[in-house]
Structure 1
């Protein structure tokens, strides 16, 4: 298949502060699909042109750039309407795709579990449905590559009529519901066991999976099956991994790793991945992993916070983990009230991160002494398992425990408190 060479096109509406970065991000997304970026065209506008997205004069300029750079693809930085795709392809006589298709393509390549594959396919079909007509017309211009794979095996998928696509969406959604129900049962179970849940969130490629693996290595037993996939690329993780972290003092928590965010994450995708993101919504604490070595890291923080707001997550306590501090020349590890500067790959700052997490999620522990009668031996075993027993002494009346335990257990067994 010939190398895909693309021109990127963006419209800066009313001087958006993040515009330049979103174009840079578009180039990264294209690279993740093995597309070479050979040119870029941007335009400042107050409102989008309904028929062509860009102004008609710019369409001419784009045509010239496309020919001069011998490109074979044009990628727009926003989601295009069906009529915009159709008009642009007619006037430019070439293949036009938008940011959404690019992201859907990457997600399709990365999806490993059945649930992630279903989520991506539902999002793709929902994107395709209103665009069938335009896509049909552009088929003649397609020679494989990005933006066609997710239109199925080319023509055959597109020749499905609307009704069959709708049927497919509903069949896949049903299968997805089963997976979601299963996940909810697991979550209820965890709530019942009262194990706190900590969720890693952040921009794609900030190092969430590396942080998770570093924690697993230190506190989870590092069996191969425990480690999660980590790679220096966009959207390496699409599946939610849940792992148990066992601390030396008998406390434990669950750690979840989620799909990374990017700006303008397509709404179909947010909808499809809602079940995965619900893991985040039910967390007791978020660890927002930031690539501190990225000069635009503050923008990436904003993008993540914005995406969390979009999926309805606003009031969960958060620790900021400024990762890759070694590359940023930061003196690490450095801890502030709710932030830590660290380097997960080098395993620098992991104990400090765990201390920060503990201070948040185990706030409801109290230090106490109890004298438990010998006929209540079961209770001693319970505390050995569910509390941090600092000292046990055997006296005439029973076992004296000095420990840190949950406030709830303290209240429940108050009669034994000394």
Structure 2
């Protein structure tokens, strides 16, 4: 018996570029990112991509009629089934273009939603994505169909007499959103309990953040030995992945790998995104991983800072910038980047693939979390058995001598450990 083959959808990516608009990002680089986004979907083959320069956006069909015909011929010749437009497309434009080109069409928000729903793993992630998808669908219910006057009778199943199909759909979506919000509230509560339990474990949280595809998961895997999905693919991780990590000569920490950030994140997705980033708000230190070999690296870093601010991440949380993928640069550039990073207090140049520079980075994380280690001598009476046991359990005793009244214990400890000892 022949195995059933999965159908691979042939897709084409278009990035409309309005000539007069003040573009922050390079069009070809933005198109490349859109193609990578599309590649993140399974069973999809991107067979071509174009930047389409426009004098102005046409309200009905986005593109002018000449361009629509030209693209129609190209899409037909390439047997394209799905067109992905890297930008916003109104419901009317979508319907008109689908009719003209006889293909399915997705805009940037629709595409990212597809990826999110494919990637979400935790219950909370799944619920947030469902809610985002419904909010998005709700905005697609336009008045365009009301001229058909598709009325529903007054049987009372869907709504009162004379309720248009759109109003019925809208109400069905709103009801579903209310249900999902209730479920989400329960899930969030459970996670808060888990987080509360984890807060009792005095492990500091080190959160990795960065633009999508910057190499966070690769770095995470290298330092924790975990096999997190680390593909050269946008949005490879959606739900935070946590691992315990013992730092050399330092504390045990929880390392958290987060979803990659992206520019122009659609508003419907901000909440879904935020849910996957809660760990960042509770972090003791944030490592901002950058793909320093990427031509848009500075713009990407700016996008990351903007999103962290929108999330309400406190400026008090120390941040280190990690310049990753140094191995992809030319020899001369590598030396220049290392020199530039060495001059700054909070920048570390590394390669998550080769491991170069990671030891220095982790040593700095240790120092930032612990403060400077001090050697002190404590005089403990015999009655302080609990305190003495704690010092040994923490593995910070350098030397101990017994006296007539108790013990003189030499300890090598961090300010955090000293404070903990005083609270015993």
Q: TM-score, normalised by structure 1?
A: 0.80
Match of 2:30 among 17, 22, 26: 22
The Cα offsets for residues 247-275 of structure 1, whole Å up to 9 and x where unpaired, read as: 34462222111111122222222212322
> What is aligned with 1:109?
118
Q: C-alpha displacement at 1:237, in angstroms?
A: 0.9
CA contact (8 A) 1:86 1:134 kept: no
For structure 1, which segment, 331-340 or 314-323, has the greater mean C-alpha deviation from structure 2 after superposition? 331-340
> What is aligned with 1:99?
108
Equivalences for residues 3-18 of structure 1 within 5 A: 3-12=9-18, 14-18=21-25
> What is aligned with 1:229?
229
Give aligned pairs, total.
386
Cα distance in 1 for partners of 2:250, 2:385 equals 19
Cα distance in 1 for partners of 2:92, 2:86 equals 16
Specify whether residues 412 and 363 from structure 1 end up closer, same or farther in structure 2 by C-alpha distance, changes over 3 A only: closer
Indicate whether 1:321 and 2:319 are aligned.
no
Equivalences for residues 139-154 of structure 1 within 5 A: none
Indicate whether 1:80 and 2:86 are aligned.
no
> What is aligned with 2:159?
none
Cα distance in 2 for partners of 1:186, 1:113 equals 14
Q: C-alpha displacement at 1:136, in angstroms?
A: 9.6
Cα distance in 2 for partners of 1:35, 1:307 equals 30
CA contact (8 A) 1:11 1:42 kept: yes
Q: Structure 1 stretches of 5 or more lacking a match?
A: 138-157, 218-225
> What is aligned with 1:266?
266
> What is aligned with 1:255?
255
Cα distance in 1 for partners of 2:123, 2:422 equals 49
**RMSD over equivalenced CA pairs, Å:** 3.3
For structure 1, which segment, 308-317 or 328-337, has the greater mean C-alpha deviation from structure 2 after superposition? 328-337
Specify whether residues 165 and 414 from structure 1 end up closer, same or farther in structure 2 by C-alpha distance, changes over 3 A only: closer
Equivalences for residues 117-128 of structure 1 within 5 A: 117-128=126-137
CA contact (8 A) 2:125 2:239 kept: yes
Indicate whether 1:340 and 2:348 are aligned.
yes
Specify whether residues 19 and 325 from structure 1 end up closer, same or farther in structure 2 by C-alpha distance, changes over 3 A only: closer
Indicate whether 1:89 and 2:95 are aligned.
no
Tell me, what secondary structure is at the counterpart of 1:273?
helix
Specify whether residues 392 and 200 from structure 1 end up closer, same or farther in structure 2 by C-alpha distance, changes over 3 A only: farther
Cα distance in 2 for partners of 1:67, 1:132 equals 29
Tell me, what secondary structure is at the counterpart of 2:407?
strand
The Cα offsets for residues 313-350 of structure 1, whole Å up to 9 and x where unpaired, read as: 36132111122222224259876321212122223323
Cα distance in 2 for partners of 1:81, 1:388 equals 63
Cα distance in 2 for partners of 1:60, 1:91 equals 8
* Bigger Rg over Cα: 2
CA contact (8 A) 2:54 2:63 kept: no
The Cα offsets for residues 136-161 of structure 1, whole Å up to 9 and x where unpaired, read as: 99xxxxxxxxxxxxxxxxxxxx9x93
Cα distance in 2 for partners of 1:343, 1:26 equals 25
> What is aligned with 2:363?
355
Q: Structure 2 stretches of 5 or more lacking a match?
A: 1-6, 147-165
Q: C-alpha displacement at 1:415, in angstroms?
A: 12
Cα distance in 2 for partners of 1:38, 1:241 equals 34
